[in-house]
Every structure is written in structure tokens, then in C-alpha cells.
């Protein structure tokens, strides 16, 4: 644009709606901008919006959420201008909040009430000084972003993004999940309540596990330990597979409609589910639907009858007779002969799996599914799976085992969430392995926030360990001092924390089979201080709407000291979390504002130590935070304590 054009048409108020006359002079002619409009158009680097997830979300029937991305160094703030109606649109505006950062850019987000039909919107960006340096030295205070480009004067009255709200699916995740604390139970290793059903050759409890060893854990053992789970503060349990199988891990299903008799029978499992529900604890099962075991009845029929089996198309059989060795003549998960891959493109297989899902949800009343290796099953099935599950229970939770970025499964038509292994890797790389800086930790987490719909982000299963990884304390080489701030972070960060059985009492062990040892029930062998920390943090989280559901804002990210701080705010409650993962003591000057709840606070109490910190001119001076320590500052609740 020219300097003359800018001075002629620039609005008087940088945050106003612009000069109506200027907008009126720039009509589109035959779908093209006229001369004045072309002169007022610029290119502002990095501004991006698309009408797709996650830039457009519909969190409920009455709300639409809009995002726009801009270069972080260019923009001070963004306003969403919007309206509805085809004639004489009523325009209003809403400030957009910074939502996530990604590679030098910031996403801004706003939630707007809608009533259906056409929704019109565009973006008004207030620029920082120098943001227009590439445009002939012009310093424009405001730029509008529309479908046709970026403008330094108010755009044409017809230049809006238009959204038919009814075409966007509502993506909700179960409300109960947002308040949950999960616990993962590996059934053979948690508790042996009925020695009468122990498998042949069961080993003594506490012996070192092997890949083939059994220890006799069962449903009665879990029933007996429900008071322990309740005291820990657990509100949901994920069971590793419970279906009939020849292995200790049960990922090689022999029959999806039978529980393994080493755990009990169906009546005992119903008793367990009812008892957990009575204690306020939900139940999700491990759905292993990519493959079965080679003992599965349909595969056995193929082994017996060959090409004449009516189930021959349930798998990918390459040659007959079917052979397991030296190399399977069929598709198998990662080439393991005992794990033949199901043909999930076969409509008959799909119907069978959906019938299995129906049985466990309707006949037993489970609350959702954790899906094993879902990335190896076509997306088309998971879309049908979601409709089927949500049709029976809209409140059921669907979470997929995805080890990388899960965005392809989180558009609202497949999973509610994924197991957040990216979170685990980022946290352990920073706290345990010390491979990354503070800013790299934050960048990893912000990338997910930028890529995921907000509903999915709130329901992510944030883990530090599982049956497929080394124990948390082992990842920290036995150094509990360095582990503690990582656990504090897990319990205070957005998403849903999950504890792998035994991590809370300091169990150790490398990857499978080491991480699958029997639960330590002898209190003399438990790390009681660590258990107290878990109990206290879970109690604090469950008592804090801010920690369960609050908006998050980074307050400090400091590489030299390996320190960071963030706030969580919900309504009138604000919690500030500060962590020092470095080797020297730090004093942090934190400004929780502009959150109104933080601005009104007179003091914050550290739930970790009980110490009180006054708020002075909107700042909290957190003094003497030691190496590998964390503070959880709660406003207005001096009684909030972890221990």
C-alpha cells in the first residue's frame, strides 16, 4: 500500500469499528476488490484462520469457538467482530484470549453464543510498534483480517467469514472425565483376593516378574482394595484386558465375551463394577480390537478348516495351510505369530466387535473404552465406533493409545481423548533425563494445545508411567527428590491425571516385564511419604475447580534456572503453580493478573508448605524456592494443604 492511502483511510480509533465512509468506498466489483480496497490491503505475516478443527469448534449446541493465529511479536491483542442475519447484520465484538503458542505464533480464541444458522465474523488485530515495518515504514495501529486478506481500514461490509453453524458437529467430552483422577490396574499384579482361582504355576507375590509369570491377581483382590483406592482419591479405573486369554497380559484375546477365569467369572466382575460404582469410581476397559490371540475361536476354525472356514476373511491369510513358524502365513501385529491381525474392513468383523462393545456396556455397565493400538485400524471404523458407543451412553469415555500427536483422531467424530504420551515424554525429558530446556518443555505442550480442540485437551489422559514404560521412579534413577515436582506438575496441569498402580508407593522396574511387578501392600516396604504426597495432591485437585477445569496461563518460563510458573483460574478461584527443576534456589516475582480472581486476592498460601505470600500491586514474590521444589499457591484458602 502507499503512505498516502494509509493516511487517507486509516480509522481514527485504533480499536473502533473504523470509518464507515472509507469502508463504503471500497466495494467489491464482480467479486474483485476496487482500487481503493486494493491499496488498503497488506500482507501481515503469519495471520491464519481456516474453517476447520481446531480453528472452529462447537463445544455445545449454543456455542461456537473461533481461533486465529498471528505472529507473536506483531500483535498486542485480537478482537473478534461477529454478527448474524443476511440483511443489516448486527455487529458486536469480543476480545479473544491468547490460547496457545506454536513456533513463534500465538493462537487467539473466543467462545461466542450462537443460535444456529449463518454466523459472520472477522478479526481485528491491534499491532505492536514496528509490526508494519515491511510496508514502507508505515505504522498501522489496527489491521482487519478477512477472507480476502489483511486491511488497514475497515473492510467492505460484505467481506466476512461466513459459517453455517449447523454443519459443524458438536464435540463434547464426558463431564465426569474433566473432574477425574484415573488409576491403571494390571489385573494379574494388583491384588490376589481369591487364591482358589490362581492359574497353574502362579508365582509367590513379590517375586520378580518375567514375561510368562502369573501371580494370581483377580477381581476379588480389587474389590478388597476399593477402600485403598477411595482413600487415594481415585475416581476412575482403567483395567488392562480382562478377556479370556492364555497370557498374563491378556492382549491376545481368546474370547471377547468371557472374562478370564483366573480373575473370576462374569458375576464376580459385575460385582466389582457395582462396588466401584458405589464408591464413586468409574470403570473403563481395554479394547484390543486390532488383533486377537491365535487361540481366538475364529482363528482356530481357520486353522482347522483352512480355506473352507467361514471365518477365513476375518483375518489376512496369505497362504494355506496356515503356519505360525518360522514366519506366520498371515498378517500379525508386529510379526508376532500369536497376535493375528483382524480384518477390520470386513463388515462382519465390525459388526461382531460392535456387538462385543454393546455387551460390556449394556450387560455390565462399564463407563468407556481405552483402545489398544487404534492407529492400526482405519479411521472409518472409529467413526462408527463413536456413534455406536455414544448412542448407548453419551457419557461414555473413549480414549485411544496414541504415542504421538493425536490430532487426526480428535476432530470430534472418533475419540474423546488420547493417552498423552507426548506429555509423558516432555515431562520426563525435562525433569528426569534433563535433555530439554524449560522453553522446550513448554513448546512441546503448547504444540498439543494448538493442535487439539479444547474439549479434547481437557480430557487428555496425562500419564507418567504405564505397563509399557519403565516405572516413574526408575525413570528418575531412584531420585525421589527430582520426581516430586514432576508429580506436582502432572496433578496441576490441564487434562486428566492417571496413576499406574504402585507408582504412588515408589515401585521400581524397567520396561516390560520389570514395570509389571506385583503391587506392594506391605506398608513397611512402601514409600509412605510419596504415598502421602499423591494423596494430598489428589485431594487438593479434587477440591479445586481451578485445578480441574481452570484456564491456564504461563507466568514465567526461565531457561537459566530451569524454573517455570503458571496460573489456573476458574470463576473466582486462582491457583498458581511454580516449579524449580534447577540446582540452585530461586526467588520468583509472579504476576497472576490480569485474571480478576488473582487481582482481588490479598494473599496466596502454598499448599506444599503452608507458607503465606502477600499480593502487592498485583505481584506475588515467591521467595527461596529450592532446587527440585514446587509451590502450589492457592488464593483465599489458607487451609488448603497437601500434607
Catalytic site positions: 372, 401
Element (H, E) at 404: none
Burial status of residue 72 (CB atoms within 10 A of its CB: 0-12, 13-18, 19 or more): middle
Strand partners, 563: 558, 580
**Cα(578)–Cα(563) distance, integer angstroms:** 7
β-pairing verdict for 496-500 and 461-463: parallel
CA geometry: angle at 36 spanning 32 and 38, to 5°? 50
Residue 559 CB contacts under 8 Å (≥ 6 apart), including other chains: 437, 438, 439
Q: Are 576 and 633 in contact (CB under 8 A)?
A: yes
Strand partners, 228: none
Q: How far is CA 358 from CA 354, 367, 409, in A?
A: 6, 12, 22
**Cα(205)–Cα(214) distance, integer angstroms:** 9
**Cα(299)–Cα(302) distance, integer angstroms:** 5
- Half-sphere exposure of 214 toward its Cβ, with a 13 Å CA cutoff? 17
Burial status of residue 633 (CB atoms within 10 A of its CB: 0-12, 13-18, 19 or more): buried
- Half-sphere exposure of 268 toward its Cβ, with a 13 Å CA cutoff? 19
Q: Which residue has the cell 507473536?
A: 72
**Cα(25)–Cα(446) distance, integer angstroms:** 42
**Cα(516)–Cα(254) distance, integer angstroms:** 22
State CA 69 to chain mean position distance: 21
State CA 252 to chain mean position distance: 28
Amino acid at each position: 500500500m502507499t503512505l498516502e492511502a494509509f493516511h487517507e483511510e486509516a480509522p481514527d480509533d485504533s480499536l473502533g469499528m473504523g470509518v464507515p465512509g472509507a469502508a463504503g468506498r471500497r466495494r467489491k466489483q464482480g467479486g474483485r476488490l476496487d482500487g481503493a480496497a486494493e491499496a488498503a490491503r497488506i500482507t501481515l505475516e503469519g495471520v491464519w484462520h481456516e474453517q476447520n478443527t481446531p480453528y472452529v469448534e462447537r463445544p455445545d449446541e449454543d456455542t461456537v469457538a473461533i481461533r486465529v493465529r498471528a505472529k507473536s511479536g506483531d500483535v498486542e491483542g485480537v478482537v473478534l467482530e461477529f454478527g448474524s442475519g443476511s440483511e443489516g447484520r448486527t455487529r458486536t465484538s469480543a476480545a479473544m484470549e491468547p490460547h496457545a503458542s506454536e513456533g513463534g505464533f500465538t493462537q487467539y480464541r473466543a467462545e461466542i453464543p450462537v443460535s444456529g444458522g449463518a454466523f459472520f465474523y472477522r478479526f481485528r488485530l491491534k499491532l505492536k510498534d514496528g509490526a508494519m515495518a515491511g510496508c514502507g515504514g508505515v505504522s498501522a495501529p489496527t489491521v482487519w483480517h478477512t477472507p480476502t486478506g489483511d486491511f488497514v481500514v475497515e473492510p467492505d461490509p460484505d467481506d466476512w467469514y461466513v459459517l453455517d453453524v449447523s454443519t459443524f458437529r458438536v464435540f463434547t467430552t464426558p463431564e465426569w472425565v474433566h473432574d477425574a483422577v484415573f488409576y491403571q490396574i494390571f489385573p494379574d499384579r494388583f491384588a490376589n483376593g481369591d487364591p482358589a482361582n490362581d492359574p497353574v504355576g502362579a508365582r509367590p507375590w513379590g517375586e520378580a516378574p518375567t514375561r510368562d509369570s502369573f501371580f494370581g491377581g483377580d477381581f476379588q483382590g480389587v474389590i478388597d482394595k476399593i477402600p485403598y483406592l477411595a482413600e487415594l482419591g481415585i475416581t476412575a479405573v482403567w483395567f488392562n484386558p480382562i478377556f479370556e486369554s492364555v497370557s498374563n497380559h491378556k492382549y491376545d484375546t481368546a474370547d471377547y465375551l468371557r472374562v478370564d477365569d483366573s480373575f473370576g467369572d462374569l458375576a464376580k466382575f459385575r460385582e466389582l463394577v457395582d462396588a466401584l460404582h458405589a464408591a464413586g469410581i468409574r470403570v473403563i476397559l481395554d479394547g484390543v480390537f486390532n488383533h486377537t490371540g491365535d487361540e481366538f475361536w475364529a482363528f482356530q476354525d481357520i486353522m482347522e478348516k483352512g480355506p473352507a472356514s467361514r471365518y477365513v476373511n476375518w483375518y489376512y491369510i496369505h497362504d494355506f495351510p496356515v503356519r505360525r513358524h518360522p514366519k506366520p502365513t498371515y498378517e500379525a501385529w508386529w510379526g508376532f505369530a500369536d497376535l493375528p491381525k483382524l480384518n477390520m474392513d470386513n463388515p462382519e468383523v465390525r459388526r461382531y466387535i460392535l456387538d462385543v462393545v454393546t455387551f460390556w456396556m449394556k450387560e455390565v455397565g462399564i463407563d468407556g473404552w481405552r483402545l489398544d493400538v487404534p492407529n492400526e485400524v482405519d479411521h472409518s471404523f472409529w467413526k462408527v465406533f463413536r456413534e455406536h458407543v455414544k448412542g448407548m451412553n453419551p457419557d461414555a469415555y473413549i480414549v485411544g493409545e496414541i504415542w504421538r500427536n493425536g490430532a487426526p483422531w480428535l476432530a470430534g467424530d472418533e475419540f474423546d481423548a488420547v493417552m498423552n504420551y507426548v506429555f509423558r515424554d516432555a515431562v520426563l525429558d525435562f525433569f528426569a533425563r534433563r535433555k530439554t530446556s524449560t522453553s522446550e518443555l513448554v513448546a512441546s505442550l503448547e504444540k498439543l494445545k494448538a493442535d487439539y480442540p479444547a474439549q479434547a485437551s481437557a480430557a487428555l489422559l496425562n500419564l507418567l508411567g504405564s505397563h509399557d514404560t519403565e516405572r516413574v521412579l526408575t525413570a528418575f534413577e531412584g531420585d525421589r527428590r527430582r520426581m516430586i515436582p514432576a508429580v506436582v506438575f502432572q496433578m496441576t496441569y490441564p487434562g486428566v491425571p492417571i496413576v499406574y498402580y504402585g507408582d504412588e508407593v515408589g515401585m521400581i522396574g524397567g520396561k516390560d516385564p520389570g514395570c509389571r511387578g506385583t503391587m506392594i501392600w506391605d506398608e513397611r516396604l512402601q514409600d509412605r511419604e510419596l504415598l502421602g504426597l499423591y494423596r494430598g495432591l489428589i485431594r487438593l485437585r479434587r477440591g479445586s475447580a481451578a485445578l480441574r477445569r481452570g484456564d491456564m496461563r504461563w507466568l514465567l518460563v526461565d531457561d537459566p534456572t530451569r524454573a517455570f510458573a503458571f496460573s489456573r483460574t476458574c470463576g473466582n478461584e486462582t491457583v498458581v503453580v511454580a516449579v524449580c527443576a534447577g540446582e540452585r534456589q530461586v526467588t520468583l516475582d509472579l504476576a497472576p493478573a490480569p485474571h480478576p480472581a488473582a487481582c482481588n486476592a490479598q494473599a496466596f498460601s502454598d499448599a506444599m508448605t503452608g507458607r503465606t505470600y502477600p499480593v502487592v500491586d498485583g505481584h506475588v514474590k515467591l521467595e527461596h524456592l529450592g532446587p527440585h521444589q514446587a509451590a502450589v499457591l492457592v488464593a483465599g484458602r489458607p487451609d488448603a494443604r497437601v500434607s
